[in-house]
Structure 1
Amino acid sequence: MVTRQITSELPEEFKAGTSGPKVGVRHLQAVLLFFGFCVSFMQRSNLSLAIVAMMDRNSTNPDFPEYAWSEQTKSLLLSSFFWGYLVMQIPSGMLVQRFGGKVVLLCGVGITGILALLTPYSAQLGDWQLTCGLRVVQGFCQSVLYASGHAILGQWAPPAERGILTTICYSGPQFGTIVIMSIGGKLATSQFGWPSIFYISGGCGIIWSFVWLLCGANSPRQSKLISSRERNYIEAALAEISESENNATTAKLTTPWLSIFKSVPFWALMICNCTYNWGFSTMMTQIPSYFKNVYNQDIQSNALLSALPYAVNVVLGLCFCALAHKLLSAKVTSTNASRKIFNTIGMWIPMAASIALGSIDADQPDLAVILLTVAVGVNSATFLGAMVSVIDLSPNFAGTLMSITNFAGTMLSIIAPLVVGVIVTDATNPNQWRYIFYIVALLYFIGNLPFLILGSSKLQPWNEPVQRNAKRVERNAEIGRGA
């Protein structure tokens, strides 16, 4: 994968610090990534909604098969996606490093789309066991999402625009969840039944793959759509923070594993990502079941209520992005302070909402909707915190860093639905759900604290190849002797 090729003789108008085109191909890449994440999360969360209809003893749509699966089996199915997702996390970063984010992401989303189309047949032919196996393979393919996204953003996003481009990209998961949960109820009760939930999500993934094949690119240097003006602007902006002087390709860079694992800011990110994943996966997989069983919502109302928190998440994410950009532009906050402030908003306000959610009674559905909306909606502020800090630490190895942190986070994403299956043995009992929300709140508190104290937005020395650092030291020494 070719990264930026920095030209030392850039025209003056393209030097870093000057403005590039206000809207350009870098924004197109972020929008394409947005839709890529959108369709991926439609495929990831389709089962969370469809399984309500698949297990509906009251016959949501009697023309389609229904399955007498237990709550434990349901929890197993909902967590199975993350088994395959976990296995490939570290290798996915290496694949992105070797082949580039474009082709790896293309394969991941495209194959997952095909498998989504096959999901209804897997349930009919092999019951929950075959469905479980198919979900494992889907997770296996989608493990490349964040590593690819971060690697591509690391080469496309000038430092001053990382917040907005990252927010655009990572609003995709929430938007995809909104779409599938908003239309899922109507699809399940329509003449096409619950299988159409899988057909729609799978078809969207395949369509996106064709568009990405034509318009996506690993870096500005590889794009056929970008103007020389915008390309030089991006490359100069990235050159300013890395102080690179030589042309290089990421494929030739040796991953500094030891330096990464000795980095304190990296460990702060790791802990934060783990706890974020627990809360996000718990909410994504359990909200439909929670509303149906505790508040007796039918599947259409259930779908709309389940989608509302994610709609607010997208809207607030854009609002937080505008606010962060304004504060940084006015120099009210430093980059490091901005990352920590918004990460704290994104984790500790949802923490308070989760505690309150666990404390309300089963006869307060409206309050439950409000608290769930706050818990999931305000979570979007983390896009401007720990999520973008991965690129701050190392643009060259952003994909690898994301694959490592996501590996750890995915372990908790696997455990979270299983814990729900152990604790919530009676899905209609709100007292059992109470413990689930308290656990989410505790982990949100624990996750943000190290990032608040030890997190950093400073470019790490190991971002550059050893040879470059050595040359820089030697050059500085010569300058010192000359003085």
Structure 2
Amino acid sequence: MDSNSKYESGKKASFFGARHVQCVMVFLGLTVAFTQRVNFSMAIVAMMDRNSTNPDFEEYNWSEQTKSLLLSGFFWGYFMTQIPGGQLAHKYGGKVMMLVSIGTSSILAILTPLSARIGDWKLLFVLRLAQGLIQGCIFPSTHTILSKWVPPEERGSIGTFCFTGVQFGSVVIMAVSGTIASSSFGWPGIFYISGLASLLWTIVWYFIGASSPSEFKWISEDERLYIESSLMTATKPEEEHVPTKTPWVKILTSVPFLVILVAQSTFAWGFWTLLIQIPSYMKNILEQDIKTNALMSSLPYLVNMLLTFAFCGLNDFLIKRDYISIHTSRKLFNTIGFWVPVVPLILLGYMRKDQSNLALCLLVVTIGVNSSAYLGFLTNHIDLSPNFAGILMGVANCMANLMGVLAPLLVGFIVTDTKNVNQWRTIFYVTAAFYFVGNLLFILFGQTTIQKWNYPKEEQEQRDHIKFEPVNVEKAVH
């Protein structure tokens, strides 16, 4: 059977196959990981609620500056381990690093209420910092797994599906946190439930997760050949050569990659500013109680998740019908995700408490449409360098999550009076400006061609001696 027939057989035999199982597990992994990140931004509202109707659990009289420091604590650790996380995922495989990261972080989530009780905000800050350090390899590991499992022509839709776990985790924890905090579990229950769910995922992932098709014993031969031929590898896994030296200078001086770095950083600024601060905005400007706050805060992320699937379907339709190229697709969907939210963001700064429904609509548009960008910059790392996709994500996510540190601190610096809508207006203006500039640079300088530094000299020489028929990959990449 020649390469083309193998490819066709694999294509027909794996409409839903092992690669989809892995991607569902990655989706769920990101889901539980994000419940651990977002749980604190919801729980802290109840932890500092002096008017709480649940007297069984301690409340804390922290200042707004202390609150902002605690909200940024996760990201102080998170951005520091992005680059090492990418290197570790490249060396040991995505499965191992996700397993260790999410499993260890889940234990810390369960210990969060205890740390607040015995060490107040100082020990709580240290715990959140440690969680960030531990979770630093999750996104690089995700990209490493996708680069081994997902054929280029499926990268936009399957890869983006995996990242909807971010929204799904946010939606779930936001939607249930108000009910949990008002129940007999109190605000500690938010941390217990998210931690236990993460432990359950860790156990399942241990048994069915795999870093690459060759490591997954339940994959069919047809599907393995389909994936490997689509990724332009040799037909035998043992002949595959993975470069060991990272071309750091070429990566850090690559304009297409630097553009991704800027786009990812500006996106992260907006994402984390809204995700972390919306509960406070809902409470102090729109005067919503904890249950209503939780439901209203989660609705935009539910719409975000649903629109992600719609954008994936539209992307597949346009590419498979040859209406647009992958290059055009990346820039089109990135533009929708970055520029459509600009006007609603600005208008949010002018809302009053009697306009809570209108404010919610603006948030739904801003955060919902934002999901389109996942089909843009977020899968672009793999376009540029399949071999170093995890490392590229680690570097870009390092800078992006520095924004996760700075955003809460800037909010704490500017919003000294949480009931002052003029101060919130400044935050929304800054976020809108970041979105505009980030996408403008991506449009002007973004690329989708595989970069030469993806193949170190020794690997390129080996590839020249391997004879195989590429399966229309150039079309998928370009």
TM-score, L = length of structure 2: 0.94
Matches within 5 A, 1:404-443: 404-443=395-434
Q: Confirm or deny: 8 A CA contact 2:178 2:290 kept in the other structure.
A: yes
Distance 2:293 2:401 in 1: 27
Contact 2:338 2:436 in 1 (8 A): yes
Return the letter of the residue paired with 1:128: W
Cα distance 1:27–1:471, how it changes in 2: closer, same or farther (>3 A)?
A: closer
Report how far residue 333 of structure 1 moved: 0.4
User: Taking structure 1 as reference, are residues 214 and 472 closer, same or farther at Cα in structure 2, changes over 3 Å only?
Assistant: closer
Q: CA deviation at 1:243?
A: 12
The aligned counterpart of 2:231 is 238
- Counterpart CA distance in 1 for 2:465 and 2:23 is 39
- Aligned to 1:283, the other structure's residue is in SS state helix
2:161 maps to amino acid: I
Tell me if structure 1 keeps the 8 A contact 2:287–2:353: no
Which of residues 251, 260, 264 is equivalent to 2:255?
A: 264
Instruction: Output aligned runs, 1:286-301, within 5 Å.
Output: 286-301=277-292
In structure 1, stretches of 5+ residues that fail to align are: 1-8, 476-483
What's the counterpart of residue 92 of structure 1? 85
Q: Is residue 13 of structure 1 aligned with residue 13 of structure 2?
A: no
Alpha carbons of structure 1 residues 156 and 357: separation in structure 2 relative to 1, 3 Å: same
Matched, 1:356 2:370: no
Match of residue 166, structure 1, among 140, 150, 159 = 159
- 1:230-269, Cα deviation, whole Å (9 max, x unpaired): 11110011017x999992343x521111111121110110
Paired residues of 2:149 and 2:227 also in contact (CA < 8 A): yes
Q: How do 1:18-167 residues align onto structure 2 when only pairs under 5 Å count?
A: 19-20=11-12, 21-167=14-160
SS at match of 1:218: coil
- CA separation in 1, counterparts of 2:252 and 2:344? 34
- What are the superposed Cα offsets for residues 443-468 of structure 1, whole Å, 9 maximum, x if unpaired? 00111111111101111111123123
- The yes-or-no answer on 1:247 pairing with 2:242 is no
Partner amino acid, structure 2, of 1:280: F
| Pair 118,377 (structure 1): closer, same or farther in 2 beyond 3 Å | same
| Residue in 2 that maps onto 1:304 | 295
User: Does the Cα contact within 8 Å between 1:253 and 1:465 map onto a contact in 2?
Assistant: no
Q: Secondary structure at the match of 1:239?
A: coil
Cα distance 1:244–1:438, how it changes in 2: closer, same or farther (>3 A)? Answer: farther
- Residues 60 and 188 in structure 1, CA contact (< 8 A), matched pair in contact too: no
Q: Deviations over 1:102-152 (max 9, x none)?
A: 001101000110000000000000000000000000000111111000000
One-letter amino acid matched to 1:223:
F
Q: 1:175 aligns with which of 168, 180, 185?
A: 168
- The answer (yes or no) to whether the contact 1:40–1:109 under 8 Å persists in 2 is yes
Alignment of 1:376-415 (within 5 A): 376-415=367-406
- Distance in 2 (CA, whole Å) between partners of 1:474 and 1:170 is 37
| Separation in structure 2 between the aligned mates of residue 301 and residue 400 of structure 1, nearest angstrom | 41
Deviation at 1:357, TM superposition (A): 1.3
In structure 1, distance between residues paired with 2:463 and 2:79:
39
For residues 165-207 of structure 1, the C-alpha deviation after alignment (integer angstroms, 9 at most, x for no partner) is 1111100011001001111000000011110000000001100
| Equivalent residue letter for 1:92 | G
The answer on whether the counterparts of 2:10 and 2:222 sit within 8 Å (CA) in structure 1 is no
Looking at structure 2, the residues matched to 256 and 328 of structure 1 have their Cα atoms a distance apart, in angstroms, of 32
Which residue type is aligned with residue 294 of structure 1? I
Would you say the 8 A contact 2:228–2:235 is kept in 1?
Answer: no
Post-superposition CA distance 1:320-362 (Å, at most 9, x none):
0000000000100011000000000001111222112123334
Instruction: Provide the aligned length of Structure 1 versus Structure 2.
Output: 466
Contact 2:178 2:294 in 1 (8 A): yes
Equivalent position to 1:338, from 320, 329, 332: 329
C-alpha distance in structure 2 between counterparts of 1:95 and 1:428, whole Å: 45
Deviation track 1:389-426 (CA, whole Å, cap 9, x = no partner) reads: 11111111100000000011111110000000001111
Instruction: Give the Cα separation in 2 of the matches to 1:471 and 1:35.
Output: 37
Residues 203-227 of structure 1, C-alpha deviations (whole Å, 9 max, x = no match): 0110000011111100001111211
| Structural mapping, 1:271-282, within 5 Å | 271-282=262-273
Q: Which moved more, 1:11-20 or 1:154-163?
A: 11-20
Structure 2: segments with no counterpart, 5+ residues: 467-478
How far apart, CA to CA, are the structure 1 residues paired with 2:17 and 2:30?
Answer: 20
Q: 1:437 is matched by which residue type in structure 2?
A: F
Report the Cα offset of residue 293 of structure 1: 0.8
- The alignment's C-alpha RMSD in Å is 2.0
What's the CA shift for 1:472? 6.5
How far residue 14 of structure 1 moved from its aligned partner, in angstroms, is 1.6
User: Could you tell me how far 1:473 is from its partner in structure 2?
Assistant: 7.5
Over 3 Å counting, the alpha-carbon distance change for 1:61 and 1:249 in structure 2 is farther
Mapped contact 1:17–1:237 kept (Cα < 8 A): no
Say if 2:169 is the partner of 1:202.
no
Confirm or deny that 1:283 pairs with 2:268. Answer: no
Are 2:330 and 1:374 equivalent residues in the alignment?
no
CA distance in 2, matches of 1:332, 1:255: 36
Give me the whole-angstrom Cα distance separating, in 2, the residues matched to 1:77 and 1:245: 46
Give the deviation of 1:363 after TM superposition.
2.8
1:253 aligned partner, one-letter code: T
What CA distance in whole angstroms lies between the structure 2 residues aligned with 1:116 and 1:474?
Answer: 51
2 CA distance for matches of 1:408 and 1:129? 25
